[in-house]
Structure 1
Amino acid sequence: MDDIRPTIRTRPREGTARATRAFTELAQQVRHQGLLRRRYGYYWTKLIAAPLVVSLCLAAFVWIGESWWQLFTAAALAIVFTQVAFLGHDAAHRQIFVSGRWNDWISLILGDLLVGMSYGWWQHKHTRHHANPNKLGSDPDIELPVIAVTAETAAKHRGPVLTWTRGHQGVFFFQILLFEGLSLHASGVRRVFARGRLERRWVEIAFLGIRLGGFLTLVFLVLSPGIAFVFLAVQLGLFGFYMGIAFAPNHKGMPVVPRDMTLDFLRRQVMMSRNVRGTRLLDVVMGGLNYQIEHHLFPSMPRPHLRRAAPMIAEYCRTHDVPYTSVGLLTSYAIVVRYINRVGLGERDVFTCPLIEQRSLIGST
């Protein structure tokens, strides 16, 4: 018995140490290639352009006045606000400046003042997601109020109507995204007025008040109530839809991690994330989120470096037997729809996944 115990105890440690060295080596390669270097010119251009473009859209809105043509303005604002949100996401991940304080204030200005989303709410939620992507009980992004993305969620509150709805939830997934914009605004407002610690609470309350209250006031001053409500429905609907389709392909349909499972950082981030390959235009449209694997491994990597890093990281993962998933855009959406339909029907056992086998391999090396 005494001879066996050291073997059982040391093998997992050796495997963990080897896995840690693997990520350390990758990080050294990434740093050596200059892929963590700041891109001040790129980001200052965007930071100057963001408020200018928003101002131009609002000026066009006032100039057009009472007209159904304003629905095109609503669509344009939805696209602009989403792109500004992507920029705020970069700042929140410390991609723009070395100073954390500067990044925080840029996130507050872009998120709260220009887009109307609470930076404090988003930071808390998103930090938990990055720490444990697709892990039950830890990742808030798999605990959705309407769509069930885990078998655990789908098993709750079963009934004939809900069973049918959940079984076809993939069909309704994109329609539900039309309400995501309203949900994002509401979640932010609830957070800033809720109890609990929140840095710069009064700044967020002021910024959200100016953005949400000011925008609504402007809309109803320029437009009659009928057109105003349709305008807001289009703007909020398309904003939520755009945000949803940018984030949905990243993790939905990838393995879900059991609560008691522990993985090394490299495998935890790569195996639960999915890249969406495409052109540079897709990179712009998706705000760099299509390089989800690279983003999860190196959250502070500036967005323009993600495309350069992807081939190197993919090759590194192949040489270290770490599954690296990269698919086309339409394929990614097909995977998401198929997966959430299977979850809704109760056909998906989230514990039957390659991660169990991977953990066994790690522990035995």
Structure 2
Amino acid sequence: MPDHYRARVNTLVRPVSAGVVSGLVGFTSAFVVVLAGLTAVGASSREAESGLLAVSVTMGLASIALSLWSRLPITVAWSTPGAALLAATGAIPGGWPAAVGAFLLTGVLILATGLLPQLGALIARIPTAIAQAMLAGILLQLCLGPVTGLAENPWQVAPVVIVWLLALRFASRWAAPLAFVTAAVAITLHVSGTGELPDAAALLPHVSLTTPTLTLGSVVGIALPLYLVTMASQNVPGAAVMRGLGYEVPWRGSMLVTGAGTLLGAPAGGHAINLAAISAALAAGPEAGEDRSRRWVASVTAGVVWVVLGLCSAAFGALVLLAPAGVIPAVAGLALMGTLAMSLRSALAEAKEQIPAVVTFVTAASGVAIAGVSAAFWALLAGLAVRALLGWRR
């Protein structure tokens, strides 16, 4: 093939292939965390599948819209730390309708961040060590899944962990997806042995709308921590990753689109969408081709992949329901190990911030809810209070 034809093929193919990889890795590595989070705050299996559909479709459409509008490789993802927060929070007063109300309020706050620069500046004033320690405490409970799974069901969980370790050594990008594939094989073998098969109609995509309500517990226990975690652990790092790759994300437009997407998806159970960080690096990096002006095609492709996978949300939900004991918590924990490591590293990077960070971490990890308010909120308050006290002492 002549060089100019080869160059043209690479210009067309590489962004598309990078987008497909970004979409597949982003979805398969964390969808179990989304389902776990939605179920923990009161969603039925049908409502959780609807929520997975909502966030998949809205983040896919948002990626397509932002990339076509800006001609930049802007990738939108669901809030994986936010889903982990929901899983750690558990049931709240008001149940699932109150959680949906909190999702709506989160969308309003993200929209307000795009409209009011002062709100974004206020979020930026939260110390990185405190924000990352809160996230690490939230993630810790989920990251225990592989350990407890090995103790509970070693024969079916051990292959998942082994594949994850081998993939981490030789193809780290695919570690979490390959762990999920191994889990899917284990689930298939389990189902073939028990004869439990889902009804074909249950595998069709469906939307379950919920009338939202708001309670003090949902506002303080879910909406505010979800907004803070999404901003501090997704939107701000996502913009930084893009800046490091030579792209300046249109901040206001991105917040307006992701805030609107969160609002649209909330009644169907979607918790939050935001700028991607890891997926952004896949779609905007060298893997998407040498022509930087064409890398936006990768983000559009990733968006299409997410929409398609979202339409299969009921099938993924059925797979999770059929899983033997310990397998799905192990997959979720393995998917979050890297995020936990990064959060701990950021939280403990500065010596003077370590004690406030540790107080924040252990409070969030305790999972103790006081007055119906989740541990994440109290962790943030405790960390800021200890930081202020130590700063005053110095």
Report the TM-score range of the alignment, normalised by the length of the smaller protein: under 0.3
Which structure is higher in RCO with an 8 Å CA cutoff and minimum separation 6?
2
Normalized per residue, the structure richer in helix is: 2
Structure 1-normalised TM-score? 0.27
- State the TM-score, normalized to the length of structure 2: 0.26
